[in-house]
């Protein structure tokens, strides 16, 4: 008989199908948890203070989302929703060169402004929600520990933040830096490593812009500067580096750059993100071939979205046309000016030219997959732009601009095929050896996109319904591979001694819900798209339950995950 007065373990999860994240075949068995770690796996004879009946359920490692922008949101939402609703127990932040550390107190305002356009994080939410009780990278990570978090957090060292710190927050139009400035930046990268961060992250893509529509610090930086900063990795030999390159479609130039960054750093290089785009047929396949060939002598991974993505937007705030120069110029300005631009036939001509010729962009450019979703002009609601254009005898671009202008840019449009609309391609992409599922961008673009659901899609669609891969393979990818590829060690499997980050779910019932995302109000009055999940029964972080049947327990067991290069500032504490 179990002795519940003097239990052997904190929790025992009994009789589930254990998929341990190592890619070994699954088995029916028990998992015992003690002091936040997996204490036993198999047939557990001892008892738990809490006993969970997992018969008929899958027991697997919590998921690792290695591309998010929760840097701000974690200040007011310690669970990183919506990722937490989809079984994610670890989020990685500081990606794409963006972050809030290091940051001097007088530059805080500017740092928040920077995130408003590039990641479309509402300024009001940041203004109200950010604690700003840090300056250095080490302080920033410790601040999460002080406040408490509901998921684990690991961080990159953001290039734009480093650059802004050394050059001054507003000196982001200068490409060249002095040798002395470069040395200061390298020292901040070292500080990042000593704080336990993974390595440099950067962004060279024009879709990502500063609040005024101008270049980001990392975009204007020279390649020499980037390589000098990346080379600091050689002094530590931990983690990885992450880049969102000028062109997300991996061609000859891009793969050469990724290889070069590996040679300079000696660490895995993560490309963000490998996409399938309808206007570039076969580009995704060539990208996979490039990855295969490059990995003969280099170590390069790509993150990828595992499902088709739509995009809901109005031209009052949309930033995802910024990778087309004429669109960026016409739309990155005050609303009155934007309306005037969109009325101007000469500017419309430039916009049309970009759609026809600027093919490195993300959007497919297919007007027959963009429709009017909400509008005061009822005659247009639900119709595709191409069809409206035909019935009115104008070009699709004219139809699009006319509708938006007619109601002061308030029209909500929906792009059905933003990226990855070809499921045949997706099936190949998700199973590729050098592709990491994810690229959720969690915490960013939340009013246009919803990508935090990817683990639920991976398991329900690609494993259960389409049988593209085994459950063992999917769990290995979602947890251990996602962590290990970026140099995050010691998480992602359910072997004895590992942190007890665990999901327990019903594979038969797993699904994203509801069928279409809905809006929820956020801090400061903004809005975001929401998609939740059904089928997750229990989620544990460090052995403590954070969600039960979708309900948050309010526990804050999350940890800051640091690399082996972490050097706690013991002397400093002793001297104070």
Distance CA 137, CA 567 (A): 12
Q: How far is the CB of 118 from Zn ion (least distance, A)?
A: 9
Distance CA 328, CA 311 (A): 18
Q: Phi/psi at 488 (nearest 5 deg)?
A: -95, 110
- What b/e string do you get for 394-406 counting C-beta neighbours within 10 Å, with b at 16 or more? ebbbbbbbbbbbe
Are the C-beta atoms of 65 and 442 separated by less than 8 Å? yes
Are the C-beta atoms of 383 and 375 separated by less than 8 Å? no
Q: How far is the CB of 171 from Zn ion (least distance, A)?
A: 23
Helix or strand run (H / E) with residue 458: none
Q: How far is the CB of 449 from Zn ion (least distance, A)?
A: 11
DSSP string, 128-189: HH-----SSHHHHHHHHHHH--SSEEEE-EEHHHHHHHHH-TT--S-----HHHHHHHHHHH
Q: How far is the CB of 303 from Zn ion (least distance, A)?
A: 9
Distance CA 94, CA 107 (A): 17
In degrees, rounded to 5, the angle at the alpha carbon of residue 220 between the alpha carbons of residues 216 and 224 is: 135
Nearest to 276 by CA among 432, 386, 67: 432
Residue among 65 and 138 whose Cβ is closer to Zn ion? 65
Residue among 272 and 386 whose Cβ is closer to Zn ion? 272
DSSP string, 387-407: HHHHHHTS-HHHHHHHHHHHT
Q: How far is the CB of 98 from Zn ion (least distance, A)?
A: 7
Looking at residues 485 to 544 of the shown chain, list those that interact with Zn ion (rule: CB under 5 A). Answer: none
Residue among 16 and 94 whose Cβ is closer to Zn ion? 94
| Site stretch for Zn ion (CB under 5 A), options 87-95, 129-137, 333-341, 401-409 | 87-95
Q: How far is the CB of 248 from Zn ion (least distance, A)?
A: 11
Residue among 20 and 242 whose Cβ is closer to Zn ion? 242
Q: Print the binding letters for residues 252-291 with Zn ion: x by CB under 5 A, - otherwise.
A: ----------------------------------------
Residue among 529 and 545 whose Cβ is closer to Zn ion? 529
Residue among 257 and 411 whose Cβ is closer to Zn ion? 257
Q: How far is the CB of 243 from Zn ion (least distance, A)?
A: 10
Q: How far is the CB of 525 from Zn ion (least distance, A)?
A: 25
Q: How far is the CB of 428 from Zn ion (least distance, A)?
A: 23
Residue among 21 and 452 whose Cβ is closer to Zn ion? 452
Are the C-beta atoms of 349 and 331 separated by less than 8 Å? no
Chain residue whose CB lies nearest Zn ion: 96
Total residues at interface with Zn ion (CB under 5 A): 2
| Site stretch for Zn ion (CB under 5 A), options 88-96, 132-140, 173-181, 358-366 | 88-96
Q: How far is the CB of 246 from Zn ion (least distance, A)?
A: 14
96 binds Zn ion (CB under 5 A): yes
Residue among 201 and 277 whose Cβ is closer to Zn ion? 201
Would you call 128 exposed, middle or buried from its count of C-beta atoms within 10 A (0-12, 13-18, 19+)? middle
Q: How far is the CB of 23 from Zn ion (least distance, A)?
A: 28
Q: Phi/psi at 290 (nearest 5 deg)?
A: -60, -40
Residue among 21 and 438 whose Cβ is closer to Zn ion? 438
Q: How far is the CB of 497 from Zn ion (least distance, A)?
A: 33
Would you call 124 exposed, middle or buried from its count of C-beta atoms within 10 A (0-12, 13-18, 19+)? middle
Looking at residues 292 to 311 of the shown chain, list those that interact with Zn ion (rule: CB under 5 A). Answer: none
Nearest to 447 by CA among 529, 512, 502: 529
Residue among 208 and 501 whose Cβ is closer to Zn ion? 208
Q: Print the binding letters for residues 38-77 with Zn ion: x by CB under 5 A, - otherwise.
A: ----------------------------------------
Span between the terminal Cα atoms of the chain, in Å:
54
Q: 370-374 and 502-505: which strand pairing? A: unpaired
154 binds Zn ion (CB under 5 A): no
| Site stretch for Zn ion (CB under 5 A), options 91-99, 164-172, 293-301, 452-460 | 91-99
| Site stretch for Zn ion (CB under 5 A), options 92-100, 216-224, 343-351, 475-483 | 92-100
Nearest to 201 by CA among 221, 184, 215, 183: 221
Nearest to 485 by CA among 440, 453, 437: 437
Selected from 95, 143, 153, 197, the binder of Zn ion by CB under 5 A is: 95
Residue among 95 and 315 whose Cβ is closer to Zn ion? 95
| Site stretch for Zn ion (CB under 5 A), options 90-98, 318-326, 375-383, 411-419 | 90-98
Distance CA 168, CA 305 (A): 35
Helix %, strand %, coil % for the chain, to 5? Answer: 35, 25, 40
| Site stretch for Zn ion (CB under 5 A), options 93-101, 246-254, 312-320, 465-473 | 93-101
Distance CA 136, CA 248 (A): 31
Which residues are near Zn ion by CB under 5 A? 95-96
């Amino acid at each position: 008989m179990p002795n519940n007065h003097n239990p052997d373990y904190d929790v025992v999860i009994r009789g589930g199908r254990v998929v341990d994240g190592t890619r070994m075949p699954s088995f029916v068995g028990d998992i015992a948890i003690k002091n936040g770690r997996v204490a036993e796996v198999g047939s557990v004879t001892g008892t738990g203070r809490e006993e969970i009946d997992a018969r008929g359920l899958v027991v697997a490692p919590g998921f690792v989302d290695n591309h998010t922008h929760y840097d701000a949101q974690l200040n007011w939402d310690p669970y990183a929703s919506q990722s937490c609703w989809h079984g994610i127990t670890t989020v990685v932040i500081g990606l794409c060169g963006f972050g809030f550390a290091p940051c001097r107190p007088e530059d805080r305002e500017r740092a928040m402004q920077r995130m408003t356009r590039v990641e479309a994080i509402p300024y009001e939410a940041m203004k109200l929600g950010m604690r700003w009780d840090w300056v250095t990278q080490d302080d920033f990570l410790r601040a999460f520990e002080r406040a408490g978090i509901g998921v684990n957090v690991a961080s990159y060292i953001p290039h734009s933040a480093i650059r802004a710190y050394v050059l001054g927050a507003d000196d982001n139009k200068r490409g060249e830096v002095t040798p002395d400035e470069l040395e200061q930046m390298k020292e901040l990268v070292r500080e990042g490593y000593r704080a336990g961060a993974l390595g440099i992250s950067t962004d060279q893509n024009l879709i990502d812009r500063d609040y005024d529509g101008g270049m980001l610090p990392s975009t204007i930086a020279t390649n020499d500067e980037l390589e000098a900063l990346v080379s600091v990795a050689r002094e530590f030999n931990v983690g990885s580096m992450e880049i969102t390159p000028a062109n997300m479609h991996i061609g000859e130039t891009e793969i050469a750059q990724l290889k070069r960054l590996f040679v300079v750093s000696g660490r895995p290089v993560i490309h963000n993100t490998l996409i399938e785009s309808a206007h570039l047929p076969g580009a995704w396949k060539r990208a996979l071939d490039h990855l295969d060939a490059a990995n003969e002598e280099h170590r390069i991974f790509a993150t990828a979205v595992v499902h088709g993505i739509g995009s809901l937007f109005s031209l009052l705030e949309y930033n995802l046309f910024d990778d087309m120069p004429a669109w960026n110029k016409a739309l990155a300005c005050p609303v009155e000016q934007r309306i005037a631009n969109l009325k101007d036939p000469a500017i419309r001509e430039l916009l049309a030219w970009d759609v026809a010729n600027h093919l490195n962009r993300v959007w497919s450019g297919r007007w027959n997959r963009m429709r009017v979703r909400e509008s005061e002009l009822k005659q247009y609601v639900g119709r595709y732009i191409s069809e409206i254009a035909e019935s009115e005898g104008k070009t699709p671009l004219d139809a699009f601009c006319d509708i938006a202008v007619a109601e002061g840019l308030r029209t909500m449009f929906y792009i059905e095929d933003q990226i990855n609309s070809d499921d045949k391609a997706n099936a190949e992409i998700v199973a590729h050896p050098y592709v990491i599922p994810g690229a959720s961008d969690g915490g960013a673009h939340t009013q246009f996109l919803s990508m935090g659901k990817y683990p639920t899609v991976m398991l329900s669609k690609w494993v259960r319904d389409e049988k593209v891969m085994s459950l063992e393979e999917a769990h290995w990818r979602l947890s251990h591979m996602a962590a290990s590829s970026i140099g995050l060690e010691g998480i992602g499997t359910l072997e004895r001694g590992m942190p007890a980050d665990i999901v327990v779910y019903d594979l038969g019932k797993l699904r994203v819900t509801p069928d279409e995302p809905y809006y929820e109000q956020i801090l400061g009055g903004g809005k975001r798209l929401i998609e939740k999940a059904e089928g997750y029964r229990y989620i544990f972080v460090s052995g403590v339950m954070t969600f039960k049947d979708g309900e948050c327990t309010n526990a804050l067991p999350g940890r800051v995950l640091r690399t082996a290069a972490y050097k706690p500032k013991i002397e400093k504490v002793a001297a104070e």
